[in-house]
Every structure is written in C-alpha cells, then in structure tokens.
Structure 1
Amino acid sequence: MSEAGYGDFEFERKFFVRTLPTDLWDEPTPDVIVQSYFLASEGYALRVRLQAPAPAPLARADTATDAATILNELTGQWELCTLTAKGPAAGGTRYEAERELDPIVAEEMVRRGGAKVIKLRHAVWLGEDGWVLDQFLGTNAPLVIAECERESPVTDLTIPAFCTTEISDDDRFANEQLAARPYSAWARHFKSELSTRGPRYLQAFGSNTSGH
C-alpha cells in the first residue's frame, strides 16, 4: 500500500508532446521498455513489461526499431520485469496491481505472445514532480507522451512548456490501445483535430499552472 493509503491505484496525468525536450535530461541515457499485452478489453489489461538501460546505439536508434530487434539485442540483460493487471481509467485514476517476474520467464512470455509496445523512457524532475517522457518506437513513432504520476490524485499541477495538450482522458493514447492500433495509423487525423480545436487542459484537477 502506498504512503498515501490508496493501495493498488495509480494517479497520473498525460500530455501529448510535439518535440522531445532533450535539454532537460538529468541522465543522458534513457531506459528501453518492451511491453506485451496479453489482454486489452474495455479498459482492462494484462501486461508483461521488460525494462533496462538503453545501450548507446539503441538510444540513438532510428525510431523504426522493432521489438524483435530490441529483444535480441538485450537478451538476458533486463533489469526490471513485471506483470501488471490494470482496470479502466477514470478521472486520472486507474487500478493497477503489479508484481516482479523472473527475468527469464518474463522475456520468454514477451517473445511468445501479446501485442507489443516499445519505447525509450526519459526521466526529469521539474519542481516538486517527477516526469517521464516516453518516446515510442516502431509503428508508434514518432509519438512522445509526458506523464506526471503521484501517490495521490494529480491536482494543482504546473504543466511544463513541452506539453502541447492533455490526453489523460483520450483512450487512444493508452498503451494497450497503441499496441492494437498504433499511432502511425491515425496520427494525421489527431493532428488535424488538434489544429482545429487547439490545445486543452482538464479543469477538474484544481488549478493548472502554465509552465509556458
């Protein structure tokens, strides 16, 4: 159970990012993540995740790099492997129960099945909040999503300048949805939407302070 007493729940807000803010990195080397979804239906998901520091060539790799290439390059090198069950998201809150897996078992499960998402994860600390920026690879390139996660609801948030628009309530950007319907298939439509309606930020989480 978290210190805030919310147990197996995650609290986060998510934002679409046009340009990766590389000048903000605390650490130059991101982690590489391969996620395999064995279930994704009506907001419920069952995921196996492999995570490790990205080798230098991969950190600079063409965004077309695929999951098979990454799995072959990092065989036996995964530092964190987890199995996670998720429930539907509502109001920036989602049930999430997670446990660590033996790396050998986790890697073989990912190789053998599930719809996959691959990404580089960059971390940065801004003010009182830690942020992660996920740079998606493969068929989800060149998508970049920024997330702020806390142990309690993410309210009164200072939104950094690199956040173009909020997507916390847009199911298309859930990782399990990106595994089934990659960003490349609908990026043009989304950008047209964004151009027409402009940026938006949810108003149900207290005051949004602009970092612009």
Structure 2
Amino acid sequence: MAKEIERKFLLKGDDWRKLAEGSVYRQGYIPTQGATVRVRIVGNQGYLTIKGPSVKYSRSEFEYPIPIEDAKEMLETLCDRPLIEKIRYKVEWGGLIWEIDEFEGVNKGLILAEVELSDEKQEIELPSWIGEEVSSNPRYYNRNLVKYPFSQW
C-alpha cells in the first residue's frame, strides 16, 4: 500500500524564492465520504489521487496519471468550488525536497511548505525560512481550503 508521510509549515521571509522556479497547479476535490479524491493538472498532465484519512502525519495515497482532457472535464463537472489554484516550488534542503505552495484565487496570501518523509519519526533540518508547523491543523489542508478559503479567515 502507498503511504504519504508529510509535515506542513507556514513560511517566514522570502529567502526560499531564489532557490526554485514554480509550476502552476490547478486542482479540485470530488465529494466523497471518508476518502479524499483529488483531480489535478500540472503543466500538460492530469492526475487522479485518492487519499485515506490522516493519522498523525501519515495516510494512504494512490496517484495515477490521467489524460489531460479527462482531468479538465472532471475539474469542470465533478469538483467542488472553488478550485485550488497555486504555484508550487520545489526546494532541495537537508537531503529532502520541500514543496512550497503559493496559493492564488480565494486563497491568495497563503504560502505553505510541505516535506514528505520516509518515517514519522524522521529527524529533519528546518530551513531558516520555515515558520510554525501546521501539520495537525485541518484548516490548512487543501481540501478544507475549498470549503473555508484563506480569504474568509
């Protein structure tokens, strides 16, 4: 079984910006009971992802490439609104890849960094631009940013 182990942080400062270029992401969530079903477009590729419930920093995750036309149709016809729009930057630091999401649209102003780990107890070196950890705060889950956008906090 595929497993995602991830920690999420707010950022402080802009020093990370000089370390990476961003890619535009557009994603939506299909309403379900229990699991999270996400449709995402990155560049010219579509993806369908199914995630189980979170337990601390971990959850089951299954991701599959799908044709871009299918992804576009799913985003337009099956996903809750608003869609998540963001620019994702990838920064290598301390032997790990940090994914920094700068949100657009109704979540503009929110910037989060995530790091995937191989074990929940894995020690990590925090870059100077990392702020408060929000891994356990559901308000920062992308799925919840659809229901309760950052602009409404």
Q: TM-score, normalised by structure 2?
A: 0.90
Correspondent of 2:146 among 169, 175, 179: 179
Tell me which residue corresponds to 2:40.
Answer: 49
Q: Taking structure 1 as the reference length, what is the TM-score of the superposition?
A: 0.66
Q: 1:94 to 1:172 in 2, by over 3 A?
A: same
> Are the structure 2 counterparts of residues 159 and 46 from structure 1 closer, same or farther at C-alpha, using a change threshold of 3 Å?
same
Which residue of 105, 118, 122 maps to 1:155?
A: 122
Query: Does the CA-based 8 Å contact 1:13-1:147 persist in structure 2?
Result: yes
Cα-Cα RMSD: 1.6
Q: Secondary structure at the match of 1:84?
A: strand
Corresponding residue for residue 144 of structure 1: 111
Distance change (3 Å), C-alpha of 1:126 and 1:120: same
- Higher Cα radius of gyration: 1
How far apart, CA to CA, are the structure 1 residues paired with 2:93 and 2:41?
26
- Are 1:11 and 2:5 matched, yes or no? yes
Deviation at 1:23, TM superposition (A): 2.2
Partner of 1:103: 68
Q: Return 148-157 or 163-172, whichever deviates more.
A: 148-157
Comparing 173-182 with 11-20, which one deviates more in the overlay? 11-20
**Residues in 1 aligned to 2:11 and 2:33: alpha-carbon distance in whole angstroms:** 26
Give ranges in structure 1 of 5+ residues lacking alignment.
Answer: 1-6, 53-77, 187-212
Distance in 2 (CA, whole Å) between partners of 1:39 and 1:168 is: 23
| Shift, 1:113, TM fit | 3.2
Query: Structure 1's 124 and 93: CA in aligned 2 closer, same or farther, altered over 3 A?
Result: same
Residue number among 13, 19, 24 corresponding to 2:19 in the alignment: 24
Number of equivalences? 150
Between 103-112 and 148-157, the greater mean CA deviation after superposition: 148-157
